[in-house]
Structure 1
Amino acid sequence: MPYTTEEGGRLNNFAVEPKVYTAEPPSNAQKRNYVIGGVAGAVLVAALVFVAVAVSGAS
């Protein structure tokens, strides 16, 4: 682990920095999966709201 010695004999530890890389744009298959996941999430939220309204008896 890299460290330096400061005045007074104290050690100062530094975290190891991760390797930096550039992100790649999503492929068409990944984009499709994001859309499918978004639609599935929206349907789930809508179903939960419907069930909550139906159970509460609100008119």
Structure 2
Amino acid sequence: MYTTVNEDGVLNNYATEPQMYYAEYPAIWEQRKYVIQGIFASLIVTTLALVAVSVS
């Protein structure tokens, strides 16, 4: 932790910053996994919307 003291004696604490890195483009199998997750998520949302419409 990085700490500074100003002229009034007030302490300022600063967190250490993490190491930065660039994201890498997802591989083909990761892209397919994201598509499958998107399909399941849209099915869940559609099902919830249909249940809400049918109940009301």
Whether the TM-score (by the shorter chain) exceeds 0.5 is yes
Unpaired runs of 5+ residues, structure 1, are none
Unpaired runs of 5+ residues, structure 2, are none
Larger radius of gyration: 1
* Aligned counterpart, 2:5: 5
Pairwise CA RMSD = 1.4
Superposition TM-score, scaled by structure 1 size? 0.77
Where do residues 8-47 of structure 1 align in structure 2 (5 Å cutoff)?
Answer: 8-47=8-47
Identity between Structure 1 and Structure 2 (%): 46
Please state which structure has a larger fraction of its residues in strand: 2
Superposition TM-score, scaled by structure 2 size? 0.80
